[in-house]
Structure 1
Amino acid sequence: MYDFTKYEALGNDYVVIDPGHTAFEPTPELVRQVCDRHFGLGADGVLYGPLPAADGYRLRTFNADGTECEKSGNGLRIFAQYLRDAGYTDADAFVLHTSAGPAPVRILDPAAGTVGVDLGPATLDSLAVGATGPRRTMLREPLTAADAAWTATCVHLGNPHCVIEPGAAAVDEALARRLGPAVRDHELFPHRINLELLDVVDHDRIRIEVFERGAGYTLASGSSACAAAVAAHALGLTGPRVTVEMPGGTVAVGIDGDGRVSLTGEVRAVLQGHWAPRLSRRLAGPRPVEGAA
């Protein structure tokens, strides 16, 4: 049994920490230490589980900054593959439970790491997105950020997303890093939001750059890919099935007639190991003081 297993999905990397295998207290400080790329293992987040559930399996997802995330598309696919790799299940389909609700997953090719997940219905409702102001559909929303005017489409898919098609500006890492913090911390989004820059290649293919609210600039994001696909479809720019290109690679996103969104792509285990003794003691959290009530 290993203390941790690190996976990546198109360069979007997570450390899976199994409470059945190692003592770990998922506090913000310790999550940040594990995810730190200089002083820790390095990752975009931590997947903690499996935890008790009435059916299926439950996990908690943490961003690199220590905040807890409601749902991660790539995280769900990675965790499904981990459960298969670790021998928890030999089923091809089962349910993962998150703080945002249940997510059915499908192991399509366990050897190749091809995993699909149903992320549920998407909505452009400002109340769900967590935006200030009157309740509305956030389609072509005017937004001023980083000293420029933009048009945004906001999507809630278990977590909130702001999708911007920047027009003449290049959809690239530099713009994502510049605009990301300004949108994430905008007064319109008091609970913060993820940013996707959208470039529509054709009717069934889009390209995006991502700045996550809890991890910063990332090479790929499953829920971001889905949110961008939903926005592009709502804007009439694409059909209901698209290939989403990101710097880390591509995924397939589908939107069914009821608005439910599915995500399919590959994941890969890259590292397994044990904590060094000193770090292991720290990650287990503070020990109770003898005699304390």
Structure 2
Amino acid sequence: MKLQFTKMHGAGNDFVVIDATRTPFTPDPALLQRLTDRRFGVGCDQVLVIESPSQADVDFDYRIFNADGSEVGQCGNGSRALARYVREHGLSDKNPIRVRTTTSVLELRDAGPGEYRVNMGVPKLEPAQVPFEAASRATRYTVMLDGNTALEIGVVSMGNPHAVLLVDDVDRAPVAEIGAALQAHPAFPQSVNVGFLQILDAGHARLRVYERGAGETLACGSGACAAAVVGQLWGVLGPSVQMQLRGGTLTIDWQGEGHPVLMTGPAQTVFTGELEWPN
């Protein structure tokens, strides 16, 4: 069997995109590992699968698989790549289009040459919705690492769970160490994506994200949204933020509680190809 794919990226967060609207795709763990492997396969942070809509209120279903084979409910950079793929491959000429993940319905809009805007939905701040183990909702939470290190975090769901902490310098932050520790913390029963946020001013920030099932990536769209929300709730960011990630810059707009988060940024096609795989 020859599996056709397209390699894409959004601000350096890279993907293998599979069109399952025409040919069925089975997310076999061995196949996912081959697709994501940077030495023996194609290489990517996540595999994105476009499917025909399962319900009449959306244009496509959208599935997201990590390198470890786990399926997740949200990927903001992947959503922009998906929007570009749909237009480039003639799957739809609508603007915007609506897609359904396992956790969310997203609205994707062409925002100009190479730029796409995603309505990421209203952020969920109740601990049970994240999910996060806490006695009650708060703006800031303190968690203990290794029994003696107190860490102050903000917690939010953007269709997937995020913890955000402030750092003085993202270049010097112990991203892998703290990221892995928080992902294994019992307060996060479904693990968590961990964002390290450095404030430059009210409209500019830097961010690194340690993702579930993938480790640190060059960019994380839902992580940028979560960081902007936490930064605004903490009074250190305004309603529109230029979020600088290692792979590029995303514009995040949020008008406060009850409003959706809008993310605008680039999406690029890298190459297309075929992978031989046993039937």
* Alignment TM-score > 0.5, same fold: yes
State the Cα distance separating 1:27 from its structure 2 match.
Answer: 2.7
**For the structure 1 residues 22 and 274, does the alpha-carbon distance in structure 2 shift closer, same or farther, using more than 3 Å as the test?**
farther
CA distance in structure 2 between the aligned counterparts of 1:71 and 1:166, rounded to whole angstroms = 25
The residue matched to 1:270 in structure 2 has which SS?
strand
Quote the residue 1:271 is aligned against: 271
| C-alpha distance after superposition, 1:176-204 (max 9, x if no partner) | 11211111111111110000001110011
The reply on whether 1:89 has 2:92 as its aligned counterpart is: yes
CA distance in structure 1 between the aligned counterparts of 2:136 and 2:40, rounded to whole angstroms = 44
> Structure 1 counterpart of 2:183, which letter?
R
Instruction: Map 1:102-141 onto structure 2 (within 5 A).
Output: 102-109=105-112, 112-137=113-138, 139-141=139-141
| Length-normalised TM-score, structure 1 | 0.88
State the Cα distance separating 1:144 from its structure 2 match.
Answer: 2.3
Unaligned 5+ residue runs, structure 2?
none
CA distance in structure 2 between the aligned counterparts of 1:2 and 1:81, rounded to whole angstroms = 20
**For the structure 1 residues 106 and 2, does the alpha-carbon distance in structure 2 shift closer, same or farther, using more than 3 Å as the test?**
farther
CA distance in structure 2 between the aligned counterparts of 1:274 and 1:21, rounded to whole angstroms = 15
CA contact (8 A) 2:167 2:173 kept: no
CA distance in structure 2 between the aligned counterparts of 1:212 and 1:8, rounded to whole angstroms = 16
Quote the residue 1:98 is aligned against: 101
Quote the residue 1:290 is aligned against: none
CA contact (8 A) 2:123 2:261 kept: yes
CA distance in structure 2 between the aligned counterparts of 1:268 and 1:173, rounded to whole angstroms = 29
CA distance in structure 2 between the aligned counterparts of 1:230 and 1:177, rounded to whole angstroms = 23
State the Cα distance separating 1:174 from its structure 2 match.
Answer: 5.6
CA distance in structure 2 between the aligned counterparts of 1:153 and 1:259, rounded to whole angstroms = 18
**For the structure 1 residues 114 and 2, does the alpha-carbon distance in structure 2 shift closer, same or farther, using more than 3 Å as the test?**
farther
Instruction: Map 1:144-159 onto structure 2 (within 5 A).
Output: 144-145=144-145, 148-159=149-160
CA contact (8 A) 1:3 1:22 kept: no
| C-alpha distance after superposition, 1:93-142 (max 9, x if no partner) | 11111111211110122xx32100001001221111111242323x2211
The reply on whether 1:197 has 2:196 as its aligned counterpart is: yes
Quote the residue 2:71 is aligned against: 68
The residue matched to 1:83 in structure 2 has which SS?
helix
CA distance in structure 1 between the aligned counterparts of 2:189 and 2:30, rounded to whole angstroms = 23
CA distance in structure 1 between the aligned counterparts of 2:128 and 2:36, rounded to whole angstroms = 32
State the Cα distance separating 1:251 from its structure 2 match.
Answer: 0.4
CA distance in structure 2 between the aligned counterparts of 1:186 and 1:16, rounded to whole angstroms = 32
| Length-normalised TM-score, structure 2 | 0.92
Structure having greater relative contact order (Cα 8 Å, sep ≥ 6): 2
State the Cα distance separating 1:148 from its structure 2 match.
Answer: 3.0
State the Cα distance separating 1:7 from its structure 2 match.
Answer: 0.4
State the Cα distance separating 1:20 from its structure 2 match.
Answer: 4.2
Quote the residue 2:61 is aligned against: 58
What do you get for the CA RMSD once the two structures are aligned?
Answer: 1.8
**For the structure 1 residues 76 and 173, does the alpha-carbon distance in structure 2 shift closer, same or farther, using more than 3 Å as the test?**
farther
Quote the residue 1:208 is aligned against: 207
The residue matched to 1:38 in structure 2 has which SS?
coil
CA contact (8 A) 1:3 1:21 kept: no
Aligned-residue identity in percent: 36
Quote the residue 1:164 is aligned against: 165
CA distance in structure 2 between the aligned counterparts of 1:191 and 1:85, rounded to whole angstroms = 35
CA distance in structure 2 between the aligned counterparts of 1:270 and 1:161, rounded to whole angstroms = 29
| C-alpha distance after superposition, 1:130-187 (max 9, x if no partner) | 11242323x22112236632210001111110001135xx322761112111111111
Quote the residue 1:262 is aligned against: 262
Quote the residue 1:4 is aligned against: 5
Unaligned 5+ residue runs, structure 1?
285-293
CA distance in structure 2 between the aligned counterparts of 1:173 and 1:57, rounded to whole angstroms = 41
The residue matched to 1:236 in structure 2 has which SS?
coil
